[in-house]
Structure 1
Amino acid sequence: MPDVTVTIPREYGYVLIVASSTFFLSTWHAVRVGPFRKRAGIPYPQRYATPEQEAAARSADPARAKAMYLFNCAQRAHGNFLESYPSALAGLLLAGLRFPVAAAATAALWSVFRTLYAVGYTRADREGGKGRLVGSGFWLCQGALYVMAGWAGVGLLME
């Protein structure tokens, strides 16, 4: 079987820039949970406000109950990011080998949608976390990265 040489195109620099920007997005997600935690009064290492805590606060202090709810939303948005981030980043790095500009643009849009998702999820005026739907386009971007990554593999085998 002949060896295959992978030449990284110059445009792969875009891929690396976008990949690097996601490190800051990840940090932003982690840091933004802190103020929600503080307003809710949820101590570390407790991961979420429990339903019992929310119910007790609802009758005594509705504003604190709302703060607990929004803390849970912020935590969930961060958790959802962490669940999809590794595969999205891998998709970007792999797809970028063959489609560097398209992969970088798609991943940049993914980052925008991830930001909208997190901000929307924590909107006090959108009950049930429905604000996150404005950022749900990240799924389309993520799927596109997966397809491009797979297609890059197929293209390599077809050469």
Structure 2
Amino acid sequence: MPVDQGDRGADDGYRGASGVAVDPRPRSRWRDRVHTTLDLIRANPVGRVTLKIAVAVVGAIVVTVGIALIPLPGPGWLIVIGGLVIWAVEFIWARRLLAFTRHNVQAWTRWVIGQSLAVRFLLGAVGLVFVAAVLWLSLKYSLGIDVVARVLHYLATH
């Protein structure tokens, strides 16, 4: 399948028999449909601008929600990366940032897997303490619920 060289990035070096750049990864049918639809939209100047604006707005909303959820336990970073994936449909800088993020997450994962069980346990414990502290501070300062004070009061009275 030929690679569209418009907004999608540089030639990755794979060439078919005709000398046309070929994507080395096989695509599923739904990805082919999405790419065909996006190419049809981009073929019209109004469609191209409308698509860029829609992708920018939807991506910004998703990233904003993700950033708001980062301090809370849950999928805050995952939602931010989802917004980056949406932006990557139209923007090269988002594709590059997504590739950088993927590379660093994979490097971190490989590093952690290579560590001893004690180091992995320590990293997990530090992560849990961090999440607990963020949850406690979020509850205390946003909802006015001091969980630590309530637990200490419960322990003192029972």
Question: What TM-score, normalized by structure 2, do the two folds share?
Answer: 0.28
Relative to its length, the structure with more helix (as a share) is 1
Larger Rg: 2
Q: Which has the higher contact order (CA 8 A, sep 6+)?
A: 1
